Amino acid sequence: MKTDMRRKLARQPFEQKIRQIGELLQLSAKVKTQRGVNDVDFIARGLRAHKNATRKILAAERQLGIRRDPLIISAIRRKSVLEFRYNGKHRIVEPQTYGLSTTGREVLRGYERPATKGARRSAMAKLFDLAKISGLQETELKFAQALPAHNPDDTAMVEIFATLPAPKNDDHLRPRHHRR
């Protein structure tokens, strides 16, 4: 149960998490009001604490170099293919998930398209460290959906900035052959 809750929380945008904290503070204020605590003062202190915490989180993200690249987020939402250099090699990648790894680094999970036409297509997505990416560009190319093995709750990430939805299972559309 806790693992499912953590995964669900990791997929939520940062701003939504902050809103939920604010709602919890308000709920807590209501409960304390019923016990005779000054509601206005409590909420004011809670909002000041929230503002200070938000400022500290943003400062920590800047210090760590976390940038939440809008180009990658947009490419995932629009299902646009990206191209970049990674470890000195040119890569063409279908982005699947973008977030913060368990080691605290920004990473991109993406399917690297084969360099040669007719090459066999892998079903696996690779994990790219953004610190090793240069020349990042969105191409005119699009892709239809996530890989069949795509997991929107990528366990390599503690926070997900953007991800594709799980691919649709089309098994129910295929004709079934029954043995007689």
Alpha carbons 162 and 157: distance in angstroms, whole number: 11
Is residue 22 pLDDT above 50, yes or no? yes
Note down the domain range covering 41. Answer: 2-64
Which of 10, 30, 64 is at the close of a domain?
64
Long-range contacts of residues 14-20, Cβ cutoff 8 Å, at least 24 apart: 14/57, 14/159, 18/50, 18/54
Q: Is residue 127, in this structure, part of any structural domain at all? A: yes
- Top-confidence residue, 62 or 110: 110
Average pLDDT, the chain: 80
Residues 82 and 72 sit within 8 Å (Cβ to Cβ): yes
> Model confidence at 179, in pLDDT bands (50, 70, 90)?
very low
- Same domain as 54, residue 9: yes
- Same domain as 84, residue 51: no
What does the block give as tokens for 3? 């693992």
- Same domain as 123, residue 101: yes
> pTM score, two decimals?
0.61
- Same domain as 132, residue 79: yes
Instruction: Determine what percent of the chain is predicted with pLDDT higher than 70.
Output: 71
Please tell me what DSSP assigns to residue 131.
Answer: G
Q: Is residue 6, in this structure, part of any structural domain at all? A: yes
Place of tokens 């990528």: 154
Domain count of the fold of the chain: 2
Residues 92 and 113 sit within 8 Å (Cβ to Cβ): yes
- Same domain as 74, residue 51: no
The CB density around residue 56, as the number of other CB atoms within 10 Å, is 10
Kind plus residue range of the DSSP H or E element containing 86: strand 80-86
- Top-confidence residue, 17 or 60: 17
- Same domain as 75, residue 23: no
Q: Is residue 173, in this structure, part of any structural domain at all? A: no
- Same domain as 148, residue 77: yes
- Same domain as 74, residue 50: no
Q: Is residue 174, in this structure, part of any structural domain at all? A: no
Q: Is residue 179, in this structure, part of any structural domain at all? A: no
- Same domain as 143, residue 80: yes
- Same domain as 121, residue 150: yes
Alpha carbons 112 and 87: distance in angstroms, whole number: 14
Alpha carbons 111 and 123: distance in angstroms, whole number: 8
Q: Is residue 150, in this structure, part of any structural domain at all? A: yes
Highest mean pLDDT among 7-16, 96-105, 161-170: 96-105
> For position 159, which CATH number holds?
2.30.30
Place of tokens 């209501």: 30
Alpha carbons 96 and 83: distance in angstroms, whole number: 14
> Model confidence at 173, in pLDDT bands (50, 70, 90)?
very low
Chain segment 26-85, per-residue pLDDT in tens: 776 666 655 555 667 777 777 787 776 666 666 655 666 667 899 999 999 999 999 999
